[in-house]
Amino acid sequence: MVTFGIIEKGKLFLKNRRWFDWMLAKMPDCKVQVSVDRIKSKRTLKQNALLWGAIYPPICAHTGYEPDEIHEIFKKMFLPRKKILWRGIEKEIGGSTAKLSKGAFILYIESIRREAADMGITLPTAKEIEEYKSPKFLDEN
């Protein structure tokens, strides 16, 4: 069972305390493990749009691969893999960009930038993309 909450002045306040208490009441008497972890902010939609809209397309144009293929290649190259036990058999699964924190996503994009540079591909920076989208640039045509 997982629930969320906040800590204020050393006290834990659960988001849905009644639901939590109801779920606890349904459990048999047993030993449990309780864990409290800080929620990390996930990568933003803007970061994801940068990846799919400005980082992958030049690489696809250079290599001839589709964006989904490039995405899988870079996930295998730069994201940690995880081992899970599935029906008694150990399986390895790939990482997910959707689960990366904002900071980890920046590092992921920088790894892709280095790989692209090694291939002779110049990728736009986030600042260059913002400048391109600005009204000033659009008025120059």
Per-residue model confidence as pLDDT tens digits over 59-116 = 999 999 999 999 999 999 999 888 889 999 999 888 889 889 888 999 999 999 999 9
pLDDT of residue 109: 93
Residue 25 falls within a domain, yes or no?
A: no
CATH number of the domain where residue 105 is located: 1.10.3790.10
Q: What angle do CA 74, 79, 80 make, to 5 degrees?
A: 145
Residue 117 falls within a domain, yes or no?
A: yes
Is the pLDDT assigned to residue 14 strictly greater than 70?
A: yes
Q: Are 110 and 100 in contact (CB under 8 A)?
A: no
Number of domains in the chain: 1
- Give the domain range for residue 127: 45-139
pLDDT of residue 86: 93
**Placement of tokens 């924190």 in the chain:** 101
Residue 67 falls within a domain, yes or no?
A: yes
Q: Are 49 and 58 in contact (CB under 8 A)?
A: no
E runs forming strands in the chain? 5-8, 11-14, 82-86, 89-93
pLDDT of residue 140: 46
Residue 38 falls within a domain, yes or no?
A: no
Whole-number percent of the chain with pLDDT over 90: 45
Residue 35 falls within a domain, yes or no?
A: no
Residue 1 falls within a domain, yes or no?
A: no
CA Rg value for the chain: 22
Q: Are 109 and 51 in contact (CB under 8 A)?
A: yes
Mean pLDDT of 23-46: 86
Residue 122 falls within a domain, yes or no?
A: yes
The C-alpha atoms of residue 66 and residue 132 are separated, in whole angstroms, by: 24
Residue 28 falls within a domain, yes or no?
A: no
The C-alpha atoms of residue 47 and residue 98 are separated, in whole angstroms, by: 10
Q: Quick check: helix, strand or coil at residue 106?
A: helix
**Placement of tokens 């964006």 in the chain:** 67
